[in-house]
Amino acid sequence: MKNDKNLDVPKIVIVGHVDHGKSSFIGRLLYEIGEIQEEKYRELKKASQKRGDEFEFAFLLDALQDERDQGITIDTTRIFFKTKKRKYVFIDAPGHKEFIRNMITGAASADIAILIVDVKEGIKQQTKKHSYLLKLLGFEKVITLYNKMDKVGYSESKFLNIKFKLETFLSKIGIKSYSSIPISSRKGDNIVTLSKETAWYKGFPFIKVLDEYKIQENEKSEFIRFPVQDIYKMGDKRIIVGRIESGKIKSGTKLIFLPSNESVNVKTLEVWPKAKKEYEVGDCIGITLSDQIFVDKGNMASDIKNPPKLTNRFESRVFWLSKKKIFFNKKYFMKINTGEYEVSINKIKKIIDVESLIEKKKKNVEKNDICEVVIHSSELIPMDDYTFNKSTSRFCLLDEKEIVAGGIVDIGNYPDQREYKDNLKQNIIPENYAVSEIDRSIKYNHRPGIVWLTGLSGAGKSTISKNVEKRLFQKNINVFTLDGDNLRIGLNKNLDFSPEDRTENIRRTAEVANLFTKAGFIVLVSLISPYRSERKKARDIRPEIFREIYIEASLEVCSKRDVKGLYAKAMKGEIKNFTGISSPYEPPEMPNLIINTSKCSIEESVEKLEKFIIKEFSF
């Protein structure tokens, strides 16, 4: 866990619709707590009067002349200040829709989120959009400020009306209001001290709420996350440098580095000017390792107990920032933690209307749209799910050096592709078979083979494989079917349908199929096996005799058939992780054979597969 020292400087982001008073609120707060010198205040007030303008506390924050001319804040401004209890950094994020990219940049690093709304103007589209962005960036609670109470005569009913509407919206996107405070930035009501004008308000002033706000600790903070920022060579030392995002590191700490999957101990801590015995979240450090292993910039070091997943495919909620259209299979540049990767967007699952929170019917993603996508990388990326560690699960996409999207990682539906090292194998020596595979092939007059049928539930895999098995058996071919449901009754009965257990289900099935081939069988495997990566691992066991068959049928067709009644249950939420509904299915990219059961009859499908097998494996 973090100690109090680490919590001394929480980062605060304040968001909301343009002109709802973010900068004015910050300026007033700084003035009220004595962070702005009285002389500076009088100077700006006098300058405003000369220009014929009414003084605004936002002028205290204006760093750019063109900001004052345009009357809007166009960049994130970091303001350091302190109260009697602790220090803070304010990130003033712009509200104008053209500068949402800067808002995301500011909010991504914040610890506390504040949402401000003008009680007179009410909730605007940007209010909702910024709220959704906070959720997208991992915030589950916000401090809500209801500004300009002086313009509505400090009306309790108007405050309660806007409060009800905003909290209703926030609850729909999964955000709770930590504290709702009626304020006036212009008059200073309820910012540092309670106002007599709002005697009906029974809460605390903002500054007290802020000082008592407990930073949400990472529940998994004992797990280490140390993205490698660079490697320095100093004499014989190779010093690995980075910032600790989670956990603690000291001399002797055992780390695993991804994607290489190598584990090693920390030999020394290299911190200037003087090293402590232990470092924790937020500390930037250098380390040397007990053994020389390959470590590169962008790698992730973690504890060995619960490392990040390694995956080349994941889902994400992204905010599209560009006027450019999304092109499938176009190469985008992804930056996550200290790593940089080439990725492509393979699928748009849905586009969300921020105003109504319902799915848009349009198919094209436009600037400032929020959408759910599936992203693919040609290499394995170490990643955390945003529910596990928000600080290491945020990323941005670039197209020709332009930031086109920001998003968060959702890997809940995809398995860990990290290869686990098993030291138990060191003392295991396999026995040679008394009867060779060649001898069996000559006797049965055909080669062994693995015919892997993949497709959605209800596509027809089991029906086709059973009929093909019967036909081949009648032709004296040594054949057997491994059906997914049959395996789950026995061999795989201890596995559920989580991504990790699906992976193990496929692995076990592939190993059993391999044993059958040693006995000379042609093995028909009827298994949904939704992940391309795991089907590839199955193929890699015996690539020379593995054939992938895609039993193709659309989700609509399969759900209409619903032979086992599973789709109906899944749509009611009675079955979790159901492929095609709440869990993804990745069709083969280059299968050896495609059988479309939406167009072919059972008889035609069976005949097609039977001819394929005879051609592939008969002498």
Give the torsion through C-alpha atoms of 180, 182, 188, 194, to 10 deg: -80
Q: What is the pLDDT of residue 200?
A: 96
Q: Are 161 and 125 in contact (CB under 8 A)?
A: no
pLDDT at residue 53, as a whole number = 59
Two tokens, residue 154 = 């400090």
Residue 62 has pLDDT above 60, yes or no: no
For residue 28, what is the enclosing H or E element? helix 22-32
113: pLDDT strictly greater than 60? yes
Interstrand relation of 332-336 and 339-352 (parallel, antiparallel or unpaired):
antiparallel
Q: What are the structure tokens assigned to 517, written together? A: 């081939």
Q: With both helix axes pointing from N to C terminus, report the angle between 499-518 and 532-541 in degrees, rounded to the nearest 10.
A: 20
**Mean pLDDT, residues 501-517 taken together:** 95
Q: Say which CATH topology domain 437-617 has.
A: Rossmann fold (3.40.50)
Q: What is the CATH number of domain 225-302?
A: 2.40.30.10
Would you list the DSSP string of 79-103? EEEE-SS-EEEEEE---SGGGHHHH
Most confident of 127-131, 351-355, 405-409, 609-613: 609-613
Between 410 and 53, the more confident residue is: 410
Query: In the CATH hierarchy, which top-level class contains the domain 11-212?
Result: alpha beta
Nearest alpha carbon to residue 387 among 219, 582, 259: 219
Number of Cα atoms under 13 Å in the Cβ half of residue 401: 0
CA angle 366, 370, 372 (to 5 degrees): 110
pLDDT for 121 equals: 92
Among 18-27, 172-181, 277-286, the least confident range: 18-27
Alpha-helical runs (H) found in 56-188:
65-70, 100-107, 125-136, 156-172
Model confidence pLDDT, tens digit, residues 407-416: 889 998 999 9
Q: Which of 206-210, 431-435, 497-501, 507-511 has the lowest mean pLDDT?
A: 431-435
Return mean pLDDT, the chain. 85
What is the structure's pLDDT at 12?
A: 86
User: Is the pTM here over 0.85, yes or no?
Assistant: no
Q: Where in the sequence of the chain do the CATH 2.40.30.10 domains occur?
A: 225-302, 309-426
The CATH number of the structural domain formed by 309-426 is 2.40.30.10
pLDDT of 335 above 50: yes
Residue with the bigger pLDDT between 245 and 97: it is: 245
Report which secondary-structure segment, H or E, holds 207. Answer: helix 206-211
**Joined tokens for residue 203:** 């809460």
Q: By the 8 A CB rule, do 291 and 264 touch?
A: yes
Q: Give dist(CA 606, CA 473) in Å, integer.
A: 14
pLDDT in tens, 260-289: 999 999 999 988 777 788 998 888 899 999
What distance lies between CA 421 and its chain's CA centroid?
A: 26
Residue 529 a catalytic site member = yes
Instruction: Enter the tokens of residue 161.
Output: 């009306």
For the chain, percent of residues with pLDDT exceeding 90: 54
Q: Which of 505, 531, 529, 533 is nearest to 451 (CA)?
A: 529
Residues 6 or more apart whose Cβ sits within 8 Å of residue 512: 482, 487, 491
> How is residue 471 written in tokens?
């036909």
Active-site residue, selected from the candidate residues 24, 393, 529, 559: 529
According to CATH, where is 3.40.50.300 located in the chain? 11-212, 437-617
pLDDT band at residue 2, thresholds of 50, 70 and 90? very low
pLDDT(417) > 70: yes
CA 213, CA 179: separation in Å to the nearest integer?
Answer: 10
Judged by average pLDDT, the poorest of 10-19, 92-101, 156-165, 505-514 is 92-101
